[in-house]
Amino acid sequence: MTPVAPTWPLQAVVFDLDGTLIDSAPGLCLAAGTTMDDLGLPRPDLATVIGFIGNGAPKLVERCLHWAGADPVRHPDALAVFLRHYGRDPMIGTTAYDGAQDLLDALAAQGLKLGLCTNKPAGPTHAILRALPLGPFDAVLGGDSLPKRKPDPAPLLRVVADLGADPVATLYVGDSITDWRTARAAGIAYVHVEGGYQTTPIPDFAPWRTVASIAGVAGLIST
Ligand SMILES: O=C(O)COP(=O)(O)O
Ligand SMILES: [Mg+2]
């Protein structure tokens, strides 16, 4: 498979959030563990929860229940409990990766539009963006903002449209198979950041570029 390259000059860069700009896995693990306590189920450890991140809160809870051998009919209740725990303070166990804000500042200074397209629900996403602070972003969509979430291309294409950018002159920067599939389905050039939450090889993987950490994205872009 041939990687999709962006056309220059670049107009916009859209980012994934969890595992790309922020390390939120300890917080997600804590909320998942408290949820499982409430349900009388075993707590998954951090490495296990990291493997469950990437497709949004409903999938994370579904994977926790499946891991524990629990009846899937408990999912609606479990999801409500999880969202209550996580929503109380999504900043617990969450930090920005080194260099993330410096990168956003540098890209904005080059006149690039900045977007955020995450599967994290919009409520905690905005709480985290305010609290860190991280950004500013010109357009933000959460996993529950549209009827479909990543890897469906709709959220990414909507963010790009909200930015007023041309998809071919846009980069999507992410850390997971979900992000890669989203970018591929949208026909948008994909930059993969290593060191996030992708723990298994990605089949048919053809990113435009791979960087070892978020700070490395700056070196790819000159407008
Ligand atoms: O909420 C998740 O499961 C993943 O969130 P992300 O799309 O920002 O990586
Ligand atoms: Mg991610």
Q: If you average pLDDT over residues 74-92, what whole number do you get?
A: 98
- Express each pLDDT in 176-209 by its tens digit: 999 999 999 999 999 999 999 999 999 999 999 9
Residue 59, token pair as written in the block = 């999938």
Of all atoms in ligand 1, which is nearest to the CA of residue 52?
Answer: 3
Q: What is the mean pLDDT of residues 12-38?
A: 98
Q: For residues 170 and 176, is the Cβ–Cβ distance under 8 A?
A: no
Of these residues, 16, 23, 138, 179, which one is catalytic?
Answer: 16
pLDDT of 29? 98
Q: What is the ipTM of this complex?
A: 0.98
Pocket test of ligand 1: the residue of 23, 119, 125 to mutate, having most ligand atoms within 8 Å of its CB, is: 119
Q: Is 45 a catalytic residue?
A: no
Ligand 1 mean position to 100 CA, how many Å?
16
Q: Is the CB of 94 under 6 A from ligand 1?
A: no
Taking residues 88-115, report their average pLDDT.
98
pLDDT above 90 for 170? yes
Rounded distance, CA 138 to CA 117, Å? 11
Q: 142: CA distance to ligand 1 center in Å? A: 9
pLDDT at 167 over 90: yes
* Residue in 120, 175, 178 to alter for ligand 1 test, most ligand atoms within 8 A of Cβ: 120
- pLDDT bin (cut points 50, 70, 90) of residue 214 is very high
pLDDT at 222: 72
- pLDDT value at residue 91: 97
Both tokens of 19, joined, read 């595992």
**DSSP SS3 for 185:** helix
Ligand that lies nearest to the alpha carbon of residue 176, given by its number in the listed order: 2
HSE, CB side, 13 Å, CA atoms: give it for residue 12.
26
CB 20 within 8 A of CB 175: yes
Q: What is the pTM of this model?
A: 0.98
pLDDT the model gives residue 96? 98
> What local confidence, expressed as pLDDT, does residue 223 receive?
56
Q: What is the set of domains in the chain, with CATH numbers?
A: 12-23+94-220 (3.40.50.1000), 25-88 (1.10.150.240)
Q: What crossing angle do the helices spanning 154-163 and 177-186 adopt, rounded to 10°?
A: 60
For residue 25, the CA-to-ligand 1 centroid distance in Å is 10
- How far, in Å, CA of 144 to CA of 148, rounded? 8
Q: What does the radius of gyration of the chain's CA atoms come to, in whole angstroms?
A: 17
